[in-house]
């Protein structure tokens, strides 16, 4: 079933587990995510980045996900990941996305608030939850690139949430997109201070692929209720395809892509177990 995440993520926050948010750009990744969610009886967020939308087409990829989500036996949220413009947020909302992430993190503070508030009002019109971002997460993924990490300040986070009305907030506390960077350090003292300043607003962990399991659990205890995973899925999918392609007799795309789907599905199941969302559907 296709749903909004507002009630689910509030429950996750109160019960100290997290929703996995997994990126897709094609049929096989979408199948892997939904099949895993059904097997684990877990609610799930499926998300598309701007690059995935450019690759597959907004109506094509959203139509595929929505059709599969409506048939799913568990709650499925369709989220715009790192949308950088109001125009794209409008297009996603009209296409049926039930969650919108607007990333104004590279804008000056006041401009970020203005853009995010505008998308929050849009979300209310379409019944979509809205995620904002404050601070800069390191690394690079698709169109999101950073030269360094700018940590989120607790006082700024409090002001940002009050001014924008976002449902959830992505914060920078040391993680990077892609795999963990050399010397990466997660500032849990900062994360705790942000949680305390926001008094009940769920937090989002971007750049969580390959992060230590105990770090993930600690982040959840400190208010993280949505965790984004993309790179780990890509590595598993591609490794399985490479293994299959070693057999030069195989030429059917379904035989090549199928093992990738299975490998990605196992990663999703593993993450759901780690996040504590299994059985929560």
List active site positions.
81
Q: Give the residue from 157, 224, 262 showing the smallest Cα distance to 21.
A: 224
Direct distance between the N- and C-terminal alpha carbons of the chain, in angstroms, rounded to an integer? 11
Sequence-distant (≥ 6) Cβ neighbours of residue 108 within 8 angstroms: none
Query: Is the CB of residue 161 less than 8 Å from the CB of residue 197?
Result: no
Q: Which residues pair with 168 in a beta bridge?
A: 131
Name the DSSP class of 74. Answer: S
Sequence-distant (≥ 6) Cβ neighbours of residue 85 within 8 angstroms: none
Cα three-residue angle 48-53-68, rounded to 5 degrees: 55
As a whole number of angstroms, the distance between CA 172 and CA 69 comes to: 30
| Strands of 144-145's sheet in order across | 144-145, 138-141, 176-177
Query: Is the CB of residue 152 less than 8 Å from the CB of residue 162?
Result: no
Within 10 A of 180 (CB to CB), how many other CB atoms are there?
21
As a whole number of angstroms, the distance between CA 109 and CA 88 comes to: 21
As a whole number of angstroms, the distance between CA 185 and CA 72 comes to: 38
Torsion 109-205-264-61 (CA) sign: negative
């Amino acid at each position: 079933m296709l749903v909004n995440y507002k009630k689910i993520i509030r429950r996750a926050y109160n019960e100290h587990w997290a929703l996995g948010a997994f990126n897709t750009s094609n049929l096989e990744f979408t199948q892997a995510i939904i099949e895993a969610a059904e097997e684990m009886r877990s609610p799930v967020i499926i998300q598309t980045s701007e690059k995935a939308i450019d690759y597959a087409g907004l109506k094509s990829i959203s139509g595929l996900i929505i059709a599969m989500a409506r048939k799913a036996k568990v709650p499925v949220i369709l989220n715009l990941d790192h949308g950088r413009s109001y125009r794209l947020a409008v297009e996603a909302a009209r296409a049926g996305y039930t969650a919108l992430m607007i990333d104004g993190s590279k804008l000056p503070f006041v401009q970020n608030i203005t853009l995010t508030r505008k998308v929050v009002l849009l979300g209310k019109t379409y019944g979509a939850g809205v995620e904002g971002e404050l601070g800069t997460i390191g690394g690079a993924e698709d169109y999101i690139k950073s030269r360094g990490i700018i940590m989120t300040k607790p006082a700024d986070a409090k002001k940002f949430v009050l001014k924008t009305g976002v449902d959830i907030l992505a914060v920078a506390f040391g993680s990077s997109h892609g795999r963990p960077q050399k010397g990466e350090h997660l500032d849990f003292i900062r994360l705790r201070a942000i949680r305390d300043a926001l008094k009940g607003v769920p937090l989002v962990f971007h750049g969580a692929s390959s992060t230590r399991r105990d770090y993930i659990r600690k982040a959840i205890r400190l208010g993280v209720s949505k965790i984004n995973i993309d790179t780990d899925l890509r590595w598993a999918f591609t490794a399985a395809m490479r293994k299959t392609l070693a057999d030069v007799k195989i030429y059917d795309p379904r035989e090549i892509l199928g093992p990738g789907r299975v490998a990605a599905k196992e990663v999703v199941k593993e993450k759901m177990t780690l996040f504590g969302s299994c059985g929560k559907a």
